[in-house]
């Protein structure tokens, strides 16, 4: 079995076993570095920390029947500086903001600022280009609890030549926002590595309880606006005021072996929401949060028209996602569309929906989703494994308007979204409850093509009714088979459904059933 190196910095590296299994390795194995045993692992993606810069290493793994080796070299760096040299205390009580921000400001290019074990209480911080932040074992960056100490950042500022400079937004709109705990603007070559923790500490504030009355959008944990070449490796992130990681109009991003957690009942605590980004890798990550685990976005109609920056070239692989509303979600803020998304070898447990696409009338003509594939996915206890919903009724003032809910064939205009091709292959789902899939397109702009190949779904014996998609007048369903409405071309090959109530396929308003083959029970 082959090994692949995903990331190598000056003091850490991340690796991936090359196979087709979702998230977990075929067996447990030991990790050796220069023939010294490090630990035992059971996942396809794993990491090493505490490495020396500009040093050659040999990695070897060994299991009962598993053998592989790889030579690699860490990168060089200009320096490695202890944050305590600038006065940081790390006792969880002292305000370390000034010390940390000063250290970041003084850190030379290609330098590393490291946080030893301790709790570093801080207000929001601003990062700069060509630096590494390293949170070592036992180190926690802890968010400040007083909301009044989070500056409010404008969405746009006009410079002296009359040009608009864009600084951010939230939920698809350019709106003022509280500064995030870690922010980078118009920067490049940034690395944030673990194995320590960044904790937003929102449960100790009013960010989760009173946000409907705030004068600005809630902060995120990490916010990167128009950045390039960002890597986050091995970090544990948790308890953001809203979305945990929010890359925004950025490119060439990598998130490797990252764990993101938040309580199930925490509002809008999505794990990782790349918005209008190009070239995003999310590999070997573990998410359990209060909302969507991953939500790929590209703004609402205003930003979709103003910048027309689709989400493009995203790869999600070997990730474990648990207890979110959706495991991998597209939308609903996708005014500039999504292109070229590949989700592979992921494992979903206990999410409301597995693969979730949500949009509606009003997202705009640039809202085109195309070239989307989901392969080699395993789901357990997911209520509805696959949802494509063009009637999403959340988050906007017009959510319950007739324009959104009308089932009439309305005119196609500049507000109408468009859906291209979607492929679902080698997917296994056990313990489903509501529906095997629920795909509901628009009558005036049907989904172009949906393909199911080698897909199996079995329902829990004690399945309970639920609403498969968030839409007006939605009816509870239970053990529903493949439901497709307003899809031009449908292909079904080697699909197995167990314990379905009623017909296996319920299709309406389609042009072609290209191939239909269900496996025998």
Q: Does residue 184 carry a pLDDT above 80?
A: yes
Q: Does residue 520 carry a pLDDT above 90?
A: no
What H or E segment, with its residue span, contains residue 304?
A: helix 301-306
CA pseudo-torsion sign 96, 97, 102, 108: positive
Largest CA distance in the chain: 70
Beta strands in 34-78 (DSSP E): 36-43, 45-49, 56-63, 67-73
Long-range Cβ pairs for the range 28-33 (8 Å, 24+): 28/63, 29/61, 29/62, 29/63, 29/66, 30/61, 30/62, 30/63, 31/59, 31/60, 31/61, 32/59, 32/60, 32/61, 32/62, 33/57, 33/58, 33/59, 33/60
Q: Does residue 41 carry a pLDDT above 80?
A: yes
Side by side, the strands of the sheet bearing 326-331 are 294-296, 326-331, 353-358, 384-389, 435-440, 480-485, 505-508
| Average pLDDT along the chain | 97
Where are the chain's structural domains? 3-73, 101-289, 292-521
Q: Does residue 254 carry a pLDDT above 70?
A: yes
pLDDT digits (tens, 9 = 90+) for 229-244: 999 999 999 999 999 9
Cα gap 274→284, rounded to integer Å: 17
pLDDT digits (tens, 9 = 90+) for 403-419: 999 999 999 999 999 99
- Please tell me the predicted confidence (pLDDT) of residue 164: 96
Q: Does residue 395 carry a pLDDT above 90?
A: no
- Catalytic residues, by residue number, are 291, 325
Give domain 292-521's CATH architecture: 3 Solenoid (2.160)
Cα gap 107→128, rounded to integer Å: 9
- Please tell me the predicted confidence (pLDDT) of residue 26: 97
In our burial notation (b when 16+ CB lie closer than 10 A, e otherwise), range 80-89 reads ebebbebebb
- Please tell me the predicted confidence (pLDDT) of residue 397: 83
Q: 3-73: CATH homologous superfamily?
A: Immunoglobulins (2.60.40.10)
pLDDT digits (tens, 9 = 90+) for 421-453: 999 999 999 999 999 999 999 999 999 999 999
Model-wide pTM > 0.85: yes
The alpha-carbon radius of gyration of the chain (Å, integer) is 23
Residue pointed to by tokens 């929102």:
202
User: For residue 308, which of 288, 338, 336, 284 has the smallest C-alpha distance?
Assistant: 336
pLDDT digits (tens, 9 = 90+) for 463-486: 999 999 999 999 999 999 999 999
Q: Does residue 13 carry a pLDDT above 90?
A: yes
pLDDT digits (tens, 9 = 90+) for 316-371: 999 999 988 999 999 999 999 999 999 999 999 999 999 999 999 999 999 999 99
Q: What CATH topology corresponds to 101-289?
A: Pectate Lyase C-like (2.160.20)
> What percentage of the chain reaches a pLDDT higher than 90?
97
- The string of DSSP codes covering 376-404 is EEEEES-SEEEEEES-B--SSTTTTSHHH
pLDDT digits (tens, 9 = 90+) for 86-131: 999 999 999 999 999 999 999 999 999 999 999 999 999 999 999 9
Please indicate whether the domains covering 101-289 and 292-521 agree at the CATH topology level: yes
- Please tell me the predicted confidence (pLDDT) of residue 521: 56
User: What is the rounded average pLDDT of the residues 171-197?
Assistant: 98
Are 418 and 458 in contact, with CB atoms under 8 Å apart? no
Q: Does residue 492 carry a pLDDT above 60?
A: yes
């Amino acid at each position: 079995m082959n090994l692949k190196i995903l990331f190598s910095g000056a003091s850490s590296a991340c690796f991936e076993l090359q196979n087709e299994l979702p998230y977990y390795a075929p067996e447990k194995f030991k990790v050796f570095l220069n023939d010294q045993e490090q630990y035992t692992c059971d996942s396809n993606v794993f990491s090493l920390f505490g490495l020396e810069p500009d040093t050659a290493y040999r990695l070897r793994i060994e299991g009962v029947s598993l053998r592989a080796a790889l030579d690699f070299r860490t990168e060089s760096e200009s320096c490695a500086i202890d944050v305590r040299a600038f006065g940081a205390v790390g006792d969880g009580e002292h305000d370390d903001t000034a010390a940390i921000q000063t250290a970041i400001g003084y850190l030379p290019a290609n330098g590393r600022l490291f946080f030893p074990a301790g709790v570093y209480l801080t207000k929001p911080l601003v990062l700069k280009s060509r630096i590494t932040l390293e949170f070592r074992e036992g180190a926690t960056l802890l968010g400040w609890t007083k909301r009044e100490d989070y500056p409010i950042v404008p969405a746009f500022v006009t410079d002296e030549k009359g040009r608009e400079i864009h600084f951010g937004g939230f939920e698809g709109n350019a709106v003022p926002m509280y500064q995030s705990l870690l922010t980078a603007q118009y920067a490049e070559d940034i690395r944030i590595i673990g194995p320590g923790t960044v904790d937003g500490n929102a449960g100790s504030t009013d960010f989760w309880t009173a946000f409907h009355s705030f004068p600005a959008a809630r902060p995120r944990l990490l916010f990167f606006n128009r950045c390039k070449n960002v890597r986050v490796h091995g970090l544990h992130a948790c308890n953001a005021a809203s979305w945990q990681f929010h890359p925004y109009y950025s490119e060439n991003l990598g998130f490797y072996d990252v764990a993101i957690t938040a309580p199930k009942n925490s509002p809008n605590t999505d794990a990782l929401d790349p918005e209008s980004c190009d070239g995003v890798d999310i590999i070997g990550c573990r998410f359990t949060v209060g909302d969507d685990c991953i939500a790929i976005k590209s703004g609402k109609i205003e930003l979709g028209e103003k910048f027309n920056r689709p989400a493009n070239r995203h790869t999600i692989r070997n990730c474990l996602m648990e207890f979110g509303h959706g495991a991998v979600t597209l939308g609903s803020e996708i005014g500039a569309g999504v292109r070229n998304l590949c989700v592979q070898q992921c494992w979903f447990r206990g999410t409301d929906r597995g693969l979730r696409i949500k949009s509606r009338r009003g997202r705009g003509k640039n809202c085109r989703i195309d070239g989307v594939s989901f392969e080699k996915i395993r789901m357990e206890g997911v209520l509805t494994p696959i949802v494509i919903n063009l009637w999403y009724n959340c988050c906007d003032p017009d959510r319950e308007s007739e324009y959104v809910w009308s089932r009439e064939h309305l005119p196609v205009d500049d507000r109408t979204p468009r859906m291209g091709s979607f492929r679902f292959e080698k997917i296994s789902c056990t313990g489903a409850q509501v529906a095997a899939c629920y795909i509901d397109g628009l009558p005036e702009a049907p989904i172009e093509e949906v393909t199911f190949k080698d897909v199996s779904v079995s329902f829990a014996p004690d399945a309970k009714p639920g609403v498969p998609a968030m839409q007006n007048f939605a009816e509870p369903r239970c053990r529903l088979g493949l439901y497709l409405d307003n899809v031009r071309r449908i292909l079904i090959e080697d699909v197995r459904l167990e314990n379905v109530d009623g017909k296996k396929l319920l299709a309406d308003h389609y042009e072609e059933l290209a191939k239909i083959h269900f496996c025998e029970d």
